[in-house]
C-alpha cells in the first residue's frame, strides 16, 4: 500500500472517529436536555400571579389554602415522592389526582386544582419523580411516572375506602402519563381519565422538538439519544407510548387540546383519540396554545369537564 493511500486511510479514520465522537457527545448533551432532571432552558419560569389572570381566583385559592402533605415511594425504587392533598369543602369520596407537565411542579396546577375544588372534589397534587420536591434524576415521559401515579391512586383508595371514586387528570407530559396509566391494570375505583395536550409517544414528541428548536432531523441524534437513555435510564423513547396504552384502555377518557398548540402539535390529539378503546369525548379549544385551554376558555373547559364527569362519577 502506498504512503499516500495510508495517509488517506488514516485521515478518513480520524474523520470517522471525530464524527462519531461528536454524535455521541451530542446525544449525551441531548439526554441531559430531555431526560436528566433539572432546570430546562426551554421551559418558561413561573410568573408572579396577577389579577388579570383569567384563573386568578383558582390560583390564589390554591396558594393560600391549607394543604396536607402525603408521601409515596416511586414504583420499583426507594425514591420519595411528595404531594399536596386538599379535601373538598364538603366531605366526599370523589378525588382527582392531578399530573403536572415536563419541567414543572405541583405549584403550577393551581388553576386545575381550583376548578376541581369548585366541582366538589378532593384534590391530590403530587410532584412527579425527578421534579419539584420529589426525588429522582430521570424524567421518563410517562413510562415510569404512570406506575407512580397508579400508586398514588391506590393510596387514595386505601385512605378513603372501597367506595372511593378517583379521576386521573394530567396536562402535557402529565396528559401523556395519564394515558399511559390507562393502559395498566387499574383498580375499579379509578373511574375516568382526563388528558390535556398529551403527546402520542416520547419519540415522536422529541423528534418534533428537535426539528422545531434545533432544526435537526430525527436521524441520527434522536435514535442515539434514545439508546443513551436506555443505557442510563432503562427505557427507549418509544417505550413511553400513549397510543399503545389507550388501545388497552376501556374506561372513559376526555381528550382536550388547544387548537393553536405548537409545542405538542394539535394533530396528536386526533391520533390518541382515534386509538382509544374506551368511551371517549374530545374537546379542541380553538386558538388555545399549549397547556392554555383552561385559561383561554375557562367556562367552556369547566363545563365540558363537569358534563363528562357527571356521566361516570356519582
pLDDT tens, 279-314?
999 999 999 999 999 999 999 999 999 999 999 998
Q: What local confidence, expressed as pLDDT, does residue 22 receive?
A: 56
Residue 6 pLDDT level (bands cut at 50, 70, 90): low
What integer is the mean pLDDT of 110-135?
A: 98
Do 105 and 94 form a contact (C-beta atoms < 8 A)? no
Residues 6+ positions from 107 with CB-CB distance below 8 Å: 46, 132
pLDDT at 5 over 90: no
Q: Which three cell numbers stand for residue 6?
A: 495510508
Which helix (H) or strand (E) segment holds residue 41: the answer is: none
| Distance between CA atoms of residues 175 and 189, nearest Å | 20
Structure pTM? 0.93
pLDDT at 45 over 90: no
Q: What local confidence, expressed as pLDDT, does residue 27 receive?
A: 82
Residues 6+ positions from 110 with CB-CB distance below 8 Å: 55, 58, 59, 61, 62, 63
User: Cell 429522582 appears where?
Assistant: 136
pLDDT at 220 over 70: yes
Pairing between β-strand 122-126 and β-strand 80-86 as defined by DSSP bridges: antiparallel
pLDDT tens, 70-98?
999 999 999 999 999 999 999 999 999 99
R_g of the chain, CA atoms, integer Å: 21
| Distance between CA atoms of residues 231 and 97, nearest Å | 31
Measured distance between the N- and C-terminal CA atoms of the chain, rounded to whole angstroms: 83
What integer is the mean pLDDT of 254-279?
A: 98
Which helix (H) or strand (E) segment holds residue 33: the answer is: helix 3-34
Do 95 and 122 form a contact (C-beta atoms < 8 A)? yes
What is the CATH code for 51-201+240-310?
A: 3.40.50.1820
Domain ranges of the chain: 51-201+240-310
CA 114-249-111 angle, 5° bins? 10
Amino acid at each position: 500500500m502506498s504512503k499516500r493511500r495510508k495517509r488517506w486511510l488514516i485521515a478518513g479514520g480520524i474523520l470517522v472517529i471525530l464524527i462519531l465522537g461528536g454524535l455521541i457527545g451530542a446525544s449525551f448533551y441531548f439526554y441531559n436536555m430531555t431526560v436528566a432532571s433539572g432546570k430546562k432552558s426551554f421551559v418558561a419560569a413561573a410568573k408572579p400571579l396577577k389579577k388579570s389572570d383569567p384563573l386568578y381566583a383558582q390560583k390564589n385559592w390554591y396558594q393560600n389554602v391549607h394543604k396536607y402533605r402525603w408521601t409515596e415511594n416511586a414504583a420499583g425504587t426507594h425514591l420519595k415522592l411528595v404531594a399536596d392533598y386538599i379535601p373538598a369543602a364538603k366531605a366526599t369520596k370523589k378525588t382527582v389526582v392531578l399530573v403536572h407537565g415536563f419541567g414543572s411542579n405541583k405549584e403550577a396546577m393551581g388553576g386545575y386544582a381550583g376548578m376541581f375544588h369548585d366541582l366538589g372534589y378532593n384534590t391530590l397534587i403530587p410532584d412527579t419523580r425527578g421534579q419539584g420536591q420529589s426525588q429522582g434524576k430521570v424524567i421518563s415521559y410517562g413510562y415510569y411516572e404512570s406506575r407512580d401515579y397508579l400508586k398514588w391512586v391506590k393510596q387514595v383508595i386505601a385512605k378513603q375506602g372501597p367506595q372511593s371514586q378517583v379521576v386521573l387528570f394530567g396536562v402535557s407530559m402529565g396528559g401523556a402519563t395519564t394515558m399511559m396509566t390507562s393502559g395498566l391494570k387499574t383498580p375499579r375505583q379509578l373511574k375516568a381519565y382526563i388528558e390535556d395536550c398529551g403527546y402520542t409517544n416520547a419519540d415522536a414528541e422529541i423528534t418534533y422538538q428537535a426539528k422545531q428548536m434545533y432544526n435537526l432531523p430525527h436521524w441520527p441524534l434522536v435514535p442515539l439519544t434514545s439508546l443513551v437513555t436506555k443505557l442510563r435510564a432503562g427505557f427507549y423513547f418509544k417505550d413511553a407510548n400513549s397510543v399503545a396504552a389507550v388501545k388497552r384502555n376501556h374506561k372513559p377518557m376526555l381528550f382536550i387540546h388547544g387548537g393553536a398548540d405548537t409545542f405538542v402539535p394539535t394533530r396528536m390529539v386526533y391520533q390518541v383519540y382515534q386509538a382509544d378503546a374506551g368511551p371517549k369525548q374530545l374537546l379542541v379549544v380553538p386558538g388555545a396554545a399549549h397547556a392554555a385551554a383552561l385559561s383561554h376558555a375557562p367556562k367552556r373547559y369547566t363545563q365540558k369537564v363537569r358534563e363528562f364527569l357527571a356521566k361516570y362519577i356519582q
